[in-house]
Each structure stands twice: as C-alpha cells, then as structure tokens.
Amino acid sequence: MVRTVSFVQRYTFEFDGTLLPEAVTLGDFDNDGCNELCIGNVDGDLYIYKMKEERWMKRNLGMITCLGIGDIKNKGDNSLVVITGEGLCYIFDHEKILESKSSDKKESIEIPHTYKQKFPLNIAQLVITDVSNRGANDLVVVLDTVVRMYTWDPDSEDRLVPQDKQSYNFRREVAAISVNTLSDGQTILIVCIPYDGIRVLKAIRSETGFEGWEPVTQVAKFTSPVRDVIGNIRSNEEVGEDGMVSFVTLEGLLTMNRGEQELWSLQLDMPIFALLKMDIDNDDNDEVVACSWDGQTFFVDHKKNICKYRFEENVAIRGFCAGQYAIGPEGNKPSLVYITNGHVVVYFNVQLTSLGVQTLNDYPFDFGAVCDNPDISGEHRSKLIRSLLTG
C-alpha cells in the first residue's frame, strides 16, 4: 500500500496550446535568485511566468521542442535557450529586455531574442552543463539517433560552435539523456536507447581541446524501453562515490543506480512520462519524482520509501515539471507544475516531513511531564496532547 499525500497551496495560470515533454523548465532566467517557469508550445509561443503573473512572452518562434536555462555564454549569468523542430536555436537574455515597452504591469512583455542560429532539424532535448570537463558550460542536444555538443564562442560567426568533429550516432533513436558526476569529479553523459540499454559517454580531451566521445560502459539492458533518466541525484552521504542515477521504463519500472550497481528497483502500477528530482523532505537528499499522464505523482527516497499525490483535476496531463519556484518574495520553494488543457497549476511550498511511515515511537515524548506540569493549564494541556497525537 502506497501512502497518499495531499497538497493545498496552489496557483493557476492560463496557458494555451500543446507542448512537448521537454518544453517546460524551472530556472533563474532574470538572475535575481528566484526561479521562473518557462513553457513553450508547438505553435511557437513562449511564456515566462514570474511569481504570480505571466511576465514575458514571445510568439512565432516555430514548433518549440525543448528549452533550458543556464550559463550557456559562460559569463556568470543565465540565459534561456529555446530550440524548435524547424532547426532554429534562440537565446534570450534578461538584460536585453526593455520593460518600458509595456506600460501596463498586468500585460506580459514581448521579449526579443538576443541570438539566433540555424541548427539541425528535429532536436528533441538539450542539456546545459560542463560535459566536456573543461570548466565551462556546453550545450548538448539530441536529434533522433545523434548526440552533438556545442560551445559558445563570441568571436565566431556562428557563436554556438560544434565541438565534436563527428557527431556520435547510435543505431536507434535516443529516448533521453542526462549527466552524472563520477567519483573523480569528471562528468559523463548518460544516454537511454529503447530496447538497447543505457550507454555512457565521456569526453576525450587533449591539449587542443575536445576530441570526441569515449564509450565508458554499458549498463545492463532493461526488459522494456527506458523512458527517462535523471542523474546527479543529491545525497548527503556520498563522499568519493559516483553520483546516483534513476531510470524509468515505459512499463513503470523505476530503478536507482550508482555506477553499474543497482541499489533498488520498484514497479509502479502505471506508465511514467516524466522523471525528475527534488528535495521534498528538507533532508539535503534529492527524492525521485515520477509523474504519469493522469497526474499521479510518486516520490521515492534513497531508501525506497514511497508516497504519491494524485492531481485533483480529472484531466490528462500535457506537461510536468518539479523543482524550485518562487511564488512570492520569500524565494524559491519546492514546487510541482502540472500543465493541462488551458491551465498551468503550480503547487508551491510542497514539503513532507518524511516519505516513510512513522509512528509515535519515532518521536519519543514524555507525556507524563506534560500532564504534571503546573505551568500548563488544563485546556492548553488537552490541545497540546491532541496535536501531538493527530499532528
């Protein structure tokens, strides 16, 4: 029996259109320390939500397939990278936004892109991080069976310069990618290939720079196609070990791995379409967050404790995201984002005391001392005991 939890603090935005799974993200777009929510639809509309309003937008970009926020220019500030199915890569920088264009604060501001470049067609996913282990961020993209890496070069005509002399081509279509950190501090790229297992790539570097990809190892194959992967799952106990990685298959098999060792596996009772990570119980460990198409969301910790939340609206989920979001000036809080037909629902300040089942034995308490304390009135004593027993 999986324990069911409930969340009540929520805020709803209007949203129009259909989106692809990788066209939603949480990140600090305007570099103020508070995360924004960015969503793009297949009609080419980009929406950026800040706190409780739709703050910025852009139309007619093309079919947005994926987007991400990160320091792609390696200058210390984040940018928003948007890629379309037509093979266009847009970069948006908050510093270029002229808010004077809109006098009505309730009206979202149309933002210009600061850079645009032609990319290959059909890019479905991107990652912004230091994959090449050079101390600066790269842009890794997936298109069909190919993985490619780009680096920002402000002196080049096409400023996003391909780093791999030959793109790494797999035999079958790539389903998902993620990154993970090894015990030696090196970053690896994890590639999920349906019916062909998991591949791990490590950057080959020389004195002249990036030379290509080296296949490091092949994790054991799954009996059903791997749907998603999430790496660098934070653990406050890992010292000198590889980062933790979680995989989920189309049939709902969820696993937690460290290196080539499977720590545990768990069969969920439904297919999963989104796999993320978030510290939901404030213990400095990331929990795995898995969401199904009907909104059932599972939270699993490192010890395989599990609980779930059922999205209260009886509708199909078109998009999902989990992470930190600032709904107000108090700053980032753990949040869940559900995108339905016409709405974006943000559950904010999502926190649990623990994922495991707990009893009063887990909280030793001297009831006798409370009952015998003359400084506590009878009425207050009853309320205190009732709250301790019922929470």
pLDDT tens string 63-78: 999 999 999 999 999 9
**Residues recorded for the chain:** 391
Mean pLDDT of 64-93: 97
The upper half-sphere exposure of residue 298, i.e. CA atoms within 13 Å in the direction of its Cβ, equals 25
198-247 pLDDT, tens digit per residue, is: 889 998 888 877 888 888 876 656 778 888 999 999 988 766 788 999 99
Mean pLDDT of 327-338: 95
In the prediction, which pLDDT does 236 show? 82
Helix (H) / strand (E) containing 254: strand 253-258
pLDDT tier for residue 342 given thresholds of 50, 70 and 90: confident
pLDDT category at 269 given cuts 50, 70, 90 is: confident
Least confident of 208-212, 299-303, 342-346: 208-212
**How far is 16 from 334, CA to CA, in rounded Å?**
25
Residue 362: pLDDT band with limits 50, 70, 90? low
* C-alpha–C-alpha distance, residues 68 and 65, integer Å: 11
Q: Which residues of 248-281 are buried (b: 16+ CB within 10 A; e: fewer)?
A: bbbebbbbbbbbeeeeeebebeeebbbbbbbbbb
Structure token digits, residue 333: 């809080």
Compute the distance between CA of residue 332 and CA of residue 282 in angstroms, rounded to an integer.
13
Q: What is the DSSP string of 200-215?
A: EEEEEEETTEEEEEEE
What span, in angstroms and rounded, lies between the C-alpha atoms of 189 and 232?
11
For the segment 12-56, what is each residue's pLDDT rounded down to a tens digit? 999 989 999 999 999 999 999 999 999 999 999 999 999 999 999
Please give the DSSP secondary-structure letter assigned to residue 383: H
Q: How far apart are CA 218 and CA 345, in angstroms?
A: 39
DSSP state of 3: E
Q: Would you state the pLDDT for residue 221?
A: 67
- E strand residue ranges, 85-132: 88-92, 109-110, 115-118, 123-129
Residue 391's pLDDT is 47
Span 90-106, mean pLDDT? 69
Residues whose CB falls within 8 Å of the CB of residue 369, separated by 6 or more in sequence, listed in order: none
| Most trustworthy range by pLDDT among 89-98, 169-178, 207-216, 367-376 | 169-178
pLDDT digits (tens, 9 = 90+) for 170-211: 888 999 999 999 988 899 999 998 877 888 999 888 887 788
List the 209-219 sheet strands across, edge first: 176-181, 187-192, 198-206, 209-219
Strand 79-84: give its sheet, edge to edge. Answer: 64-70, 79-84, 88-92, 115-118
Helices vs strands, H then E, count in the chain: 2, 31
Question: What pLDDT was estimated at residue 290?
Answer: 97
Higher pLDDT, 207 or 4: 4
List the structure tokens of 195.
């019916």
Query: Distance from CA of residue 8 to its chain's centroid?
Result: 22
Mean pLDDT lowest among 22-31, 125-134, 211-220, 282-291? 211-220
The encoded tokens of residue 128 equal 């912004």
- Can you tell me the distance from the alpha carbon of 10 to that of 350, in angstroms, rounded to the nearest whole number? 9
pLDDT of residue 98: 55
Question: What is the tens place of the pLDDT at every residue in 48-68?
Answer: 999 999 999 999 999 999 999
| Strand ranges in 144-186 using DSSP code E only, listed in sequence order | 146-152, 160-162, 168-169, 176-181
Comparing 198-207, 238-247, 308-317, 363-372, the range with the smallest average pLDDT is 363-372
Question: Can you tell me the mean pLDDT for 281-292?
Answer: 94
Q: What pLDDT, on the 0 to 100 scale, is given for residue 390?
A: 47
DSSP reduced 3-state for 328: coil
**Residue 388 φ then ψ, to 5°:** -70, -35
304, amino acid identity: K
- Return the DSSP state at 362: G
Q: Mean pLDDT across the chain, nearest whole number?
A: 88
Backbone angles phi, psi at 213, to 5 degrees: -105, 140
**% of the chain residues with pLDDT over 70:** 87
- Mean pLDDT over 292-298 rounds to 94
